[in-house]
Amino acid sequence: MVRLWLLIASVLITLLSLRFYFFYANQPELHDGQYLEFKTTLLSEPNMFSNYQQIIASPYGKEKIIIKIPRYPEFHYGQTLRISSTVHKQVLSNKKTVMAMYFPKVKAEKNDKNMGLAIVSTIRQRIISFFENTLPPDSSSLLLGIVFGIKEQMSKENFAQFRNAGVLHVIAASGMNVTMVGGFLSSFFAMFLRRQFALVLTILGICFYAVLAGLEPSIVRASIMGILVFCAQILGRQRLSVYSLFLAGFIMLFISPNLLFDVGFQLSFMATLGLILIPKIRPARHASQTLRGVAGGGIGEDLLTTISAQIATLPILLFSFGTYSLWSVVVNGLVLWVVPILMMLGGIGAILGLIIEPLGQVFLYLSLPFLLYFQEVISTFSRLGGLATIREFSWQLVVGYYCFLSAVLVFFYKGNNRSNN
């Protein structure tokens, strides 16, 4: 059996290596001052600022270009734009160099939306308007971020507070959201249907959630991972969960090799892997029991989940952003217990709001006390500071960290197996 898995892994690695070689061998290099003309379809809403909109495009599938365009006319999810201008190098605050376009010539294609994207865009805009008309601005933007990963309506001040408190992941549609949606739907359908039918409907529900969340790359990745891992967990096969996760990673990288260098892909993959592996080792189980006794069942589980995900993603965060919130674990333990409640109330409210608006408003009003609690915790800890900055974190340290973590996990898993035998 081991030989079979090694053979399959060798074949997949060989195929992926060939895919990477041919993909990057045929990629044109972008140069400072180079003139480009290309079409791009918006798969997320542009970031809106006072006097311009900002989108990100990858015209050749490899290098991303940050594009600043005039504030008006506004462009939206699903539109296809023809963009032409020269590209320039831009150095970001973390000293990373990217390519950028400043106020290029932009023209929306006449048939700029296909039917599917047009329907998604309409539903998305109706949900955003419904939330904004029902709740105060800060509360509506927070709930949109938690439920659908929509961050365009969030102010810079609130975004900075979330970063300083170490909870930016809460307002990004990710594996955690998909897991919560899948867990809720599977429990609900299992009350009325056989497990096989409940599983099928749960997967369809995850796909529908991904559509409502806007089909952004992050939620598409999380949905693929979530569906495969969720299926494995329904079957009660922990090891199959790991295999499914790596299969999902293989499929996504084979389709889009540039995802390998996408921070969102790296974080979602490693966080999911950490959530599968770390809580199962004996020290984590003991810590979980202790946290349940000291902090309570719900908060204890949230703390263990937070710690597991942060252990798995810490070097990527330090390498990519150079900052880490010292309050992150504490704040996550205080607020994560309300996230499932807010997702349930916000999700049901959004669906009902599309059909019977007053009924949907009731659920949004019920979420308001939890939103105010969430905002107060974030505001309090963000004022305390505690944002550690690391100027240089080399890739060698990242590799060394994961080698050490892998050795620790192998050691404890062997200890678990000896104890079981």
pLDDT value, residue 371: 92
One-letter amino acid identity for 282? R
DSSP 166: T
Angstrom distance (rounded) from CA 46 to CA 88 = 20
* Residue 220 contacts residue 264 (beta carbons within 8 Å): no
* Residue 382 contacts residue 331 (beta carbons within 8 Å): no
State both tokens at 41: 């379809």
What's the sign of the alpha-carbon dihedral 345, 346, 352, 358?
Answer: positive
Burial of 166 (0-12, 13-18, 19+ CB in 10 A): buried
- Residue linked to tokens 């290099």: 29
Per-residue model confidence as pLDDT tens digits over 352-409: 998 888 999 999 999 999 999 988 988 888 877 766 777 677 778 888 888 998 888 8
* Residues β-bridged to residue 57: 65
**Which parts of 58-120 are beta strand (E)?**
65-70, 80-86, 88-91, 97-102, 105-108
Q: How many CB atoms lie within 10 A of CB 305?
A: 21
Best CA proximity match to 374, nearest among 153, 151, 156, 170 = 170
* Residue 71 contacts residue 53 (beta carbons within 8 Å): yes
Residue-wise burial string across 66-105, b where 16 or more C-beta atoms lie within 10 A, e elsewhere: bbbbeeeeebbbbbbbebebebeeeeeeeeeeebbbeebe
Per-residue model confidence as pLDDT tens digits over 182-207: 777 777 787 888 777 877 788 888 88
* Residues β-bridged to residue 53: 48, 69
Q: State how far Cα 225 lies from the chain centre.
A: 11
pLDDT value, residue 234: 58
Q: 156: helix, coil or strand? A: helix
DSSP 66: E
Angstrom distance (rounded) from CA 186 to CA 417 = 31
Angstrom distance (rounded) from CA 328 to CA 326 = 6
DSSP 47: E
**Given 3-state DSSP classes, what are the helix, strand and coil percentages for the chain, each rounded to the nearest 5?**
65, 10, 20
User: If you write DSSP's letter for every residue of 134-173 in order, what string do you get?
Assistant: HS-HHHHHHHHHHHH---TTS-HHHHHHHHHHT-GGGGS-
Burial of 139 (0-12, 13-18, 19+ CB in 10 A): buried
DSSP 32: T
Q: What angle do CA 226, 228, 231 make, to 5 degrees?
A: 100
State both tokens at 393: 């974190």
Angstrom distance (rounded) from CA 322 to CA 316 = 9
pLDDT value, residue 395: 76
One-letter amino acid identity for 351? I
Q: Please give the backbone phi and psi of residue 41, each rounded to the nearest 5 degrees, phi first.
A: -100, 130
Q: Which helix (H) or strand (E) holds 257?
A: none
Residues 6+ apart with CB under 8 A from 378: 161, 162, 165, 167, 331, 335
Cis peptide before 73 (omega within 30 of 0): yes
User: What does the radius of gyration of the chain's CA atoms come to, in whole angstroms?
Assistant: 22
pLDDT value, residue 61: 63
First to last CA, the chain: 20
Residues in the chain predicted with pLDDT less than 70, given as ranges, are 1-2, 43-44, 61-62, 93-95, 110-118, 152-153, 169, 172-176, 179-180, 214-218, 221, 226, 229-241, 282-304, 321-323, 386-387, 391, 415-421
pLDDT value, residue 235: 60
* Residues β-bridged to residue 114: none
